[in-house]
Structure 1
Amino acid sequence: MSNSSVTAAPQSRMQALDGLRGFATILVLLGHGAASMGWPVLAGAPFFQGYRALVIFFALSGFLITSLMVRELNKTGRIALGAFYYRRAMRLIPAFAVFLVVVAILAANVSFISVSLRQWLSAALFINNYVSGPANAWWVGHSWSLAIEVQFLLIWPLILYFFGPKIALRVAAVVIVLGPIVRIGQYLLFESLRGNITVTFHTRVDSFLIGGAFALLLNDKRFRDQLVKWCLRLAIPATVFITLIEPYVAGIFKLHYYFPIGYTLDGVASGIIIVACLNGSKWVIKFFSFRAFTFVGINSYSTYLFQQLFINHFGPPPWNNAILGIALSVLAGFLGYQLIEKPFLKFSTRKKATNQSPPPLPGPAVPGDKTADVSDQTVTK
């Protein structure tokens, strides 16, 4: 049986996880572009619905964050929470802070960009998923997913720290089971809050915990071999499902599919793909290692942040069109990674070497950092 440790995975297998995140990021770009740039036929096409992209990000983030925390626990007998939160801040905040500054400058000087102080602050404080709501300010509206990631990071590490992996696995299982019930309950009982189901922590955290549960099972000797065996068997069906079948099922039933079972199925499929990639599923690794996927995946956090400026969901700026907007988003992502994320990553790595702390954790679920070299950075996203 191949080694299932995230940190021991060959580069090609971690590259496939970059590609998985890149695939999800491309879905976001195509979905936003089709919906906002006058492509009504494509906007209504199932493939261009980006809901599953965020589930991939969330599951991938939950998996790798949990894996690295369990690895640290197994290696040192403890989890250094202070170092954990420092590394998370170094990965999440710099690029997002630059993005918020850019938005503030543009909002003050460009007529078609309108962001209220309330909207800007709710994004900056990582509470946009509860304060602003899904229909508010496009320019910072996508920060709901980053807010969920931060809220997850404030709670899940504490559960692992105080109660350990076994209790954490039980907590994850309960939340995963309750997730669809909570969504359906909110839909039926609180009509005015139906629009928030897709963006709030309590209705979406189960996607993170599906990834976390896969990580905990993979690091448990009682379950590891069986989990790897079944994930390898189901890897190709899971890939076919999430790339081809799921969008058509979701296209027919829409949120009536996602709320009861869709988010859960997408999360499980993502977990299967992740474990299969780390354990040598040849064809799945080959598919997600496609160069365009891995390139976008490495730069995905900045791409996700800055695409909001180039792909306007509620009407394109006069200098924009769909193809140009997507191209500029990818370019902004590359520059953001090289000029903002990478320098802070190097700084964090130097501090790690000085303090002999564990390696920096993966990038955010709203797509993030390079995952190929787990020895000095390591996803999710």
Structure 2
Amino acid sequence: MRTLDHDEFLAMRRFPALDGLRAIAATIVILFHFAGPKWSWLSGWVGVYIFFVLSGFLITTLLLREQDRTGRISLSAFYLRRAFRILPPYLVILGGIVVFVLLRGEFLARDFPHALKYYLTFFNEFLPGSESDTSGQDNFFTGSWTLGIEEKFYLVWPFLLVIAGAVGLAAAWRKLALAFAAFALMAGLVGVTGGWVLDGPHVPIYRSTVHYAILLIGCVLAVAMHYRRSYAVLKPLTHPLAAIPVFGAFALLHVNMESLWRRPGTNLGLLIAYGVLSALLLVVLVSPGPLRWLLATKAMRFVGERSYSLYLLQGPVHFVVVEAVPPLGENRMISALTVFAVGLGIADLIHRWVEQPMILTGKKLIARRQERKALRAAEAELEAPNSVEAPSGAR
């Protein structure tokens, strides 16, 4: 048993155990929404914070590696990748909900024209009622509030990395300092204009700016692991035995989140602590060991790779399942398991027929754009004059 070298980490192109972590996060979120209070000890509501930390870590890692590989971060390529990854499943599921509501004659009754303005602009968390249960009793898509958080975050974060590179801040700690300062300014401005507060008692948790801090924790982890000097600080956590205390601390906090959350004045610090422990868990999961092996199994990866669509489908699937088979609504655990099974089946179809083809289309589009750009650069170089102008007075 040994630790993971920095060069080995940089050579890794995929982190399969993180798909397994996605699977767990999606499952506990579904159980939280539909399994009933008996399963509240699972603290499934914090599963979204695992998604946030994962997202920040993975996307920042990709951007930093692109910068190393090409010497720059292409913002246009990033946003194209993001659009082709996020929008197709999102729009397919949202479109299905709209058709379903129209066929039931409830489009106006459920105020869907108003809701669509929020959904189509990714201000989901500001939709009145978005803090309600996602059981499908309102408009079937309230669980999509997390997409609103992420998309606004990624409108800003890549720019910060580009700025950090443009001003020549090579040292990791300086890059982090710049990113923190700029991001804090952005969060403050958005907070003022949006009427948010960081931990206000009257602001629904869905709208709290603390979510951006959780995403940033994943980003900071990616920066720390990308640079050799800061990686050395985290390297002891890559030893297989480190999984015991890290996972133990994470699990202990996780199962106590529900009770700790009810204590006044602890919410902000509690969520930050959970985000930090989630980040440390990622270090363990990208490193060799039994925990990585367990979460990288085929079954776990299968669910994890479909977790995005599964997460979005939970509300509408629950509504349809309970309406089609009313007795299922009487046993909440059976209802939750049915939502998981049916949702996973539909998510698999979306993954195969929508998500994967559109991701591939996005990659091809980016490749063609890069080829055209390289060709134009080559043509410009060929057209440039090859001779140097003679000095004044020369014959």
Normalised-by-shorter TM-score class: 0.7 to 0.9
Q: What is the Cα deviation at residue 161 of structure 1?
A: 1.0
Matched, 1:306 2:277: no
Deviations 1:102-156 (A, max 9, x none): 1111111236883521122201210011243413835121111011110111010
Q: What is the Cα deviation at residue 191 of structure 1?
A: 4.5
Q: What is the Cα deviation at residue 82 of structure 1?
A: 0.7
**3-state SS of 2:141 partner:** helix
Q: Does structure 2 conserve the Cα–Cα contact (< 8 Å) formed by 1:69 and 1:79? A: yes
The aligned residue for residue 9 of structure 1 is 12
Q: Does structure 2 conserve the Cα–Cα contact (< 8 Å) formed by 1:311 and 1:326? A: no
The aligned residue for residue 139 of structure 1 is 140
The aligned residue for residue 232 of structure 2 is 225
Q: Does structure 2 conserve the Cα–Cα contact (< 8 Å) formed by 1:128 and 1:143? A: yes
Matched, 1:46 2:41: yes
The aligned residue for residue 257 of structure 2 is 250
Amino acid at match of 1:149: E
Q: Does structure 2 conserve the Cα–Cα contact (< 8 Å) formed by 1:18 and 1:298? A: yes
Return the alpha-carbon distance in structure 1 between the equivalents of residues 106 and 338 of structure 2. 18
Return the alpha-carbon distance in structure 2 between the equivalents of residues 30 and 130 of structure 1. 24
The aligned residue for residue 199 of structure 1 is 206
Q: Does structure 2 conserve the Cα–Cα contact (< 8 Å) formed by 1:231 and 1:272? A: no
Amino acid at match of 1:107: V
Amino acid at match of 2:361: F
| 5+ residue gaps, structure 1 | 358-381
Q: Does structure 2 conserve the Cα–Cα contact (< 8 Å) formed by 1:23 and 1:288? A: no
Comparing 300-309 and 105-114, the one that deviates more? 105-114
Return the alpha-carbon distance in structure 2 between the equivalents of residues 307 and 246 of structure 1. 26
Q: Does structure 2 conserve the Cα–Cα contact (< 8 Å) formed by 1:55 and 1:267? A: yes
The aligned residue for residue 347 of structure 1 is 361
TM-score with structure 1 setting the length: 0.79
Closer, same or farther in 2 for the Cα pair 1:265/1:191, shift >3 Å? closer
Q: What is the Cα deviation at residue 289 of structure 1?
A: 2.0
Count of aligned pairs between the two proteins? 336
The aligned residue for residue 393 of structure 2 is none
Closer, same or farther in 2 for the Cα pair 1:351/1:339, shift >3 Å? same
The aligned residue for residue 391 of structure 2 is none
Q: What is the Cα deviation at residue 218 of structure 1?
A: 0.9
Matched, 1:275 2:283: yes
Map 1:143-222 onto structure 2 (within 5 A).
143-164=144-165, 166-170=173-177, 186=197, 191-193=201-203, 196=204, 198-200=205-207, 202-222=209-229
Amino acid at match of 2:294: F
The aligned residue for residue 124 of structure 1 is 120
Matched, 1:324 2:330: no
The aligned residue for residue 58 of structure 2 is 64
The aligned residue for residue 338 of structure 1 is 352
The aligned residue for residue 364 of structure 1 is none
Identity among equivalent positions (%) equals 26
Larger Rg computed on CA atoms: 2
In angstroms, what is the RMSD of aligned CA positions? 3.0
Q: Does structure 1 conserve the Cα–Cα contact (< 8 Å) formed by 2:198 and 2:210? A: no
Q: What is the Cα deviation at residue 200 of structure 1?
A: 2.3
The aligned residue for residue 381 of structure 2 is none
Q: What is the Cα deviation at residue 212 of structure 1?
A: 0.5
**3-state SS of 1:32 partner:** helix
Q: Does structure 2 conserve the Cα–Cα contact (< 8 Å) formed by 1:172 and 1:212? A: no
| 5+ residue gaps, structure 2 | 166-171, 329-334, 372-395
Deviations 1:202-224 (A, max 9, x none): 22111111011011111122211
Closer, same or farther in 2 for the Cα pair 1:100/1:170, shift >3 Å? same
Closer, same or farther in 2 for the Cα pair 1:65/1:109, shift >3 Å? same
The aligned residue for residue 293 of structure 2 is 286
Return the alpha-carbon distance in structure 2 between the equivalents of residues 187 and 214 of structure 1. 22
Q: Does structure 1 conserve the Cα–Cα contact (< 8 Å) formed by 2:164 and 2:179? A: no
The aligned residue for residue 377 of structure 2 is none
Return the alpha-carbon distance in structure 2 between the equivalents of residues 301 and 108 of structure 1. 25
The aligned residue for residue 34 of structure 1 is 35
Deviations 1:45-92 (A, max 9, x none): 311x22321111100110111111111112222111111101100001
Q: Does structure 2 conserve the Cα–Cα contact (< 8 Å) formed by 1:3 and 1:279? A: no
Return the alpha-carbon distance in structure 2 between the equivalents of residues 289 and 278 of structure 1. 10
Q: Does structure 2 conserve the Cα–Cα contact (< 8 Å) formed by 1:306 and 1:329? A: yes
The aligned residue for residue 369 of structure 1 is none
Q: What is the Cα deviation at residue 234 of structure 1?
A: 4.0
Return the alpha-carbon distance in structure 2 between the equivalents of residues 214 and 305 of structure 1. 27
